[in-house]
Amino acid sequence: MDSPFGLLTELTYRCPLACAYCSNPLNLGDYSDELTTDEWRRVLAEARDLGILQCHLSGGEPLLRRDLVELVAEAHGLGLYTNLVTSAFGLSRPRAEQLRAAGLDHVQVSIQADEADASDRIAGTPSFRRKITAMGVVKDLGWPLTVNVVLHRRNIDRVAELLELAEEAGADRVELANTQYYGWAWRNRDALLPSRAQLDAAEVVVRAARERLRDRMDVLYVLPDYYSRYPKPCMGGWASRQLTVTPNGDVLPCPAAQSLPLPRANVREATLARIWAEAPVMTAFRGTDWMPQPCRGCDRRELDFGGCRCQAFQLTGDAARTDPVCHLSPDHHLVARAVEAANAGSPARDLPLIPRPHRGSPTGVPGAAG
């Protein structure tokens, strides 16, 4: 077991957007008892002692934490590389200058589409213009900029325009990540899963952009699991490289693991080091001993680690099953059926989306700085 190098701090699940593909949990109310500033400080110190090198500040929308600047300064002082993962809704120049002075190292801005009307419709909030302005501020202040786009049936046909937008914004990196079907995205899967023809067309565009932009911008393109022959490795192996701390202090091996029926481990009850080494939520699927067949006898078992436990549970109700994405899985028909529907010419594009509800406001939280 290696020590983790990455910490995802989900500071709050409050968010001004209402994206229908949001991976945040469905039961948002269960996470309203957010960690205080002092509790987050302790978590950051324990992360440093555990060997963490990178701290990703996310949510929800982390800018809704009024103590964000203070937490960035704390992480910076501990020697952690800090990355703000944001919708950019609320990233004004004064706030950005405060974060720069506090030592923030990198900014990742999400965008929903390349046009204002489409972006605002997908986000459920007029936000496109603010995002474009915020990206300009990020570059003006000298930060590296990553532009993140969650791709799905309703925006993947405009990959070329999305890449052009990122290029014009001066992005150093663009992530074109097809939707992963957890949380709210699971509820909207039938309306979001793209067709094979859409994916093939997007891949041609991405391949050409990678070649053209190879000296100026990194282009990452992540296919949807459902179209893969083998599953992707789960975060490099269950609880082997990174961990997530949710707004209320639960510790997870990945952001989606809150859905699994495993005992909770919380930073209010134990240290990060103890949770990492001993908590059932961290040890349940480490290594390969837990694997069923066909994973146990497969020569890929230490390459993809049986695939995603959260996806296996989402699709089969059993987190220990082989990920149904794998063509060798006895449950692969569950994925094949969804892919077949996405390619059957059904009016999926016209299905109504269930938006993630707006939740919270930029007011403070207990213990947060004013």
- Give the residue ranges of the annotated binding site for [4Fe-4S] cluster: 15, 19, 22
- Which amino acid, one-letter code, is at 169? A
What gap in Å lies between CA 230 and CA 329, rounded to an integer? 10
Q: Which residues contact 326 (CB under 8 A, 6 or more apart)?
A: 229, 230, 231, 304, 307, 332
List the structure tokens of 338. Answer: 């969804």
Reduced to 3 states, what is the DSSP secondary structure of residue 369? coil
- Which amino acid, one-letter code, is at 344? A
What gap in Å lies between CA 370 and CA 358, rounded to an integer? 23
Backbone φ and ψ for 266, nearest 5 degrees, come out as: -130, 140
Whether the CB-CB separation of 304 and 229 falls below 8 Å is answered with no
Binding-site residues sit at 15, 19, 22
What gap in Å lies between CA 316 and CA 142, rounded to an integer? 47
Element (H, E) at 148: strand 145-151
